Amino acid sequence: KRLWFQQFKALLMKKLLFDVRNFMLLLIMTIIPVVVVLITFPQSFYQSNNKAQPPLYETLQMYKNSTVFCSIVPVQGLEANFESLNTSIRNLIEKQHGR
């Protein structure tokens, strides 16, 4: 753990020296994004719409050519029904996708 801490400390020191030597890069990549966030964050609170939105109701009729995938766990004695359903779903998918 001590070696890891020393490596982490050396990494931070290397970054600090690099940033001191390249101040413009530090300004562009660190300070400007922080300033932009500090300016836009309060504005988003003041301009946000806090009213409760009505619930969104969705139906399959809203979408054209929609395919609904379903999975049925086979019960003993119903394997034949499951296989026929699986086959019909496969045929429907192939028909819609032109295969």
Q: Residue 22's pLDDT is what?
A: 84
Rounded CA-CA distance 67/95 in Å is 11
Q: Residue 93's pLDDT is what?
A: 82
Q: Residue 25's pLDDT is what?
A: 81
Which residues of the chain fall short of a pLDDT of 50? none
Nearest to 94 by CA among 67, 56, 64, 62: 67
What Å distances lie between residue 25 and 8, 10, 11, 12, CA to CA?
A: 22, 20, 18, 16
Predicted TM-score of the model (pTM): 0.31
Nearest to 82 by CA among 72, 68, 92, 69: 72
Sign of the dihedral through C-alpha 62, 67, 69, 75? positive
Q: Residue 7's pLDDT is what?
A: 94
